[in-house]
């Protein structure tokens, strides 16, 4: 649809950016913090370890001041479960509580609204030893952790996100370093979807608890949503795209918002003899939970074509954005209409609008963009970083949000990835996303000095004009 006149961004739109604890904080075993699965995993060769990252733990005041200088209205960060509960359950670490109190208070000092992710890829190692999400007790562990968070920070944190990219934990957990498979597992798909089921129930219980303990707070899920296009208008390709849309996207939101499994996914699980076992009360738990909004990460769309052979050999999915397919259901397809980033991710700003339109049509809940961004090899030259490629990427995506608002979608905010450079999930700190450059490399920890990238100044202007001035 063409529009003659664009609607403005809402007055109280959350312009900000995102990070996650294990990728930005560093100090990963300091001040009582216990190890998470990220701290004990084998690192991909040539990537920075997680001891220092951007050292946000020690630099948070400077970092929040820089975010305030950009005019941030919100800062989306995650709380490290093991900073609060070093063993995942049991004793609370007072230094962990103190750190996040300080971080939250620092945001509030500048009128930056904290948007807190409760769980971002960092299961406590102690709980991993007890079977991680495979263990049904994980539902209780997560609910208990949620209770500690709401009790300690709920007086000031009004926006909560449950589990970051649960769909990626399920689809590419081995790439992100989160997947734990119990010895003797015979049907891996069944095992993974049982873990996924526990997460869905844990999330549902946390949402109910949040509404009970903090009546004026809002809570929602934060999956990675990428609309799936069919590779052609062949009816078989349309079916394949529907299959992958259901497996990649709708399963998670149908469960979170409608309290039930998506029927196409259920059929797929039946075919694989992989339906999760429901425990007592699970169905009710899913139905009782009602998110207030949908948080979602968007990087690019996917494209699928038919896979008409059960025995077709397909490699496993490569990462969050690169799907290879599932024999008999769909096959990943390289979209010839899209450019790619230096790291091989397709770039599709119009797909952002397509995704928003579809999301709003399906769920009719306010939408909060919790991630979007461009990973690139930035260069520091004479104290400057000329990242015009990032500005262009952000410009094109923000434009599409405005078009989606004009289409009638209710948008709460835009929090791209990332506020500041941090360590990527599996490609090191050389893959930079931030508005703020951090002087450090994969090979060795640098001065950790902060530099304002060109995108920093551009985003500042965008925020100051509430999205009216996107020029560059």
What is the binding site for ligand BG6 (CB under 6 A)?
Answer: 20, 23, 164-165, 168, 224, 297, 320, 371, 375, 417, 424-427, 431
Residues 6+ apart with CB under 8 A from 175: 317, 318, 319, 320, 425, 426
Closest CB to ligand BG6 among residues 303, 372: 372
Closest alpha carbon to 407 in 348, 462, 369, 359: 359
Q: Which of 165, 191, 305, 346 is catalytic?
A: 165
- 42 in catalytic set: no
Closest to 450 in 3D by CA, of 73, 55, 77, 72? 55
Nearest approach in angstroms of CB 385 to ligand BG6 is: 18
Phi, psi angle pair for 296, to nearest 5° = -150, 145
User: With respect to ligand BG6, which residue has the nearer C-beta, 222 or 240?
Assistant: 222
Q: Of the two residues 20 and 245, which places its CB atom closer to ligand BG6 in the complex?
A: 20
| Closest CB 117 distance from ligand BG6, rounded Å | 9
- Judged by beta carbon, residue 113 or residue 341, the one nearer ligand BG6 is 341
Categorise residue 448: left if φ over 0, alpha if ψ from -120 to 50, beta otherwise. left
Question: Cβ 109 to ligand BG6, closest distance in Å?
Answer: 26
Q: What are the C-alpha distances in Å from 207 to residues 220, 255, 276, 451, 471?
A: 7, 13, 21, 38, 40
The active-site residue, picked from 25, 106, 191, 371, is: 371
Q: Which residue, 152 or 370, has its beta carbon nearer to ligand BG6?
A: 370
Give least dist CB 26 to ligand BG6, A: 15
Query: Nearest approach, Cβ of 45 to ligand BG6 (angstroms)?
Result: 15
371 is catalytic: yes
Paired tokens of 340: 């790619």
Structure tokens at 223: 């999956």
Residue number of the CB atom closest to ligand BG6:
424
HSE-CB for 119 with a 13 A CA cutoff: 28
CA distance 233 to 330: 15
What is the DSSP code (8-state) at residue 274? Answer: -
Instruction: Output the smallest distance, CB 198 to ligand BG6, in A.
Output: 20
User: Considering only CA atoms, which of 63, 105, 102 is closest in space to residue 83?
Assistant: 102
Query: Is residue 422 helix, strand or coil?
Result: coil
CB-wise, 20 or 400, nearer to ligand BG6? 20
The single residue listed with the structure tokens 């807190």 is 116
- Which positions are catalytic? 165, 371
């Amino acid at each position: 649809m063409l529009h003659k006149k664009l609607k403005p961004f809402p007055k109280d739109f959350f312009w900000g950016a995102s990070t996650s604890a294990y990728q930005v904080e560093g100090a990963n075993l300091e001040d009582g913090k216990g190890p998470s699965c990220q701290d004990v995993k084998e690192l991909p060769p040539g990537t920075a370890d997680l001891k220092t990252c951007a050292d946000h733990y020690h630099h948070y005041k400077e970092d929040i001041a820089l975010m305030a200088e950009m005019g941030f209205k919100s800062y989306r960060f995650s709380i490290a479960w093991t900073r609060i509960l070093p063993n995942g359950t049991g004793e609370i670490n007072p230094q962990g509580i103190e750190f996040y109190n300080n971080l939250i208070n620092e945001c509030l000092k500048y009128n930056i609204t904290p948007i807190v992710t409760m769980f971002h890829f960092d299961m406590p190692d102690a709980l991993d030893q007890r079977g991680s999400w495979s263990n049904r007790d994980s539902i209780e562990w997560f609910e208990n952790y949620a209770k500690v968070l709401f009790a300690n920070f709920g007086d000031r944190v009004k926006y909560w996100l449950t589990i970051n990219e649960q769909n990626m934990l399920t689809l590419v957990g081995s790439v992100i370093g989160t997947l734990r498979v119990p010895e003797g597992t015979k049907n891996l798909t069944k095992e993974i979807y049982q873990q996924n089921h526990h997460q869905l129930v844990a999330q549902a219980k946390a949402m109910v608890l949040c509404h009970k303990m903090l009546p004026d707070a809002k809570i929602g899920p934060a999956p990675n949503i990428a609309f799936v296009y069919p590779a052609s208008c062949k009816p078989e390709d349309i079916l394949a795209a529907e299959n992958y849309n259901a497996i990649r996207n709708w399963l998670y939101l149908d469960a979170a918002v409608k309290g039930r499994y998506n029927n196409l996914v259920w059929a797929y699980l039946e075919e694989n003899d992989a339906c999760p076992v429901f425990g007592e009360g699970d169905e009710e738990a899913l139905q009782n939970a009602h998110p207030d909004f949908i948080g979602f990460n968007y990087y690019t769309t996917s494209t699928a074509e038919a896979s008409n052979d059960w025995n077709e050999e397909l490699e496993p999915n490569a990462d969050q954005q690169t799907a290879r397919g599932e024999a008999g259901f769909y096959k990943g397809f390289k979209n010839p209409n899209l450019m790619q980033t230096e790291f091989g991710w397709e770039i599709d700003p119009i797909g952002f609008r397509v995704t928003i339109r579809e999301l709003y049509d399906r769920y009719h809940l306010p939408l909060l963009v919790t991630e979007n961004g461009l990973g690139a090899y930035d260069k520091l030259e004479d104290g400057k970083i000329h990242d015009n490629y990032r500005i262009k990427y952000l410009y094109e995506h923000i434009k599409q949000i405005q078009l989606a608002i004009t289409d009638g979608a209710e948008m709460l905010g835009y929090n791209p990835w990332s506020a500041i450079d941090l360590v990527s999930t599996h490609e090191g700190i050389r893959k930079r996303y931030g508005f703020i450059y951090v002087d450090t490399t994969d090979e060795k920890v640098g001065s950790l000095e902060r530099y304002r990238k060109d995108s920093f100044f551009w985003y500042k202007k965008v925020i100051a004009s509430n999205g009216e001035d996107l020029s560059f």
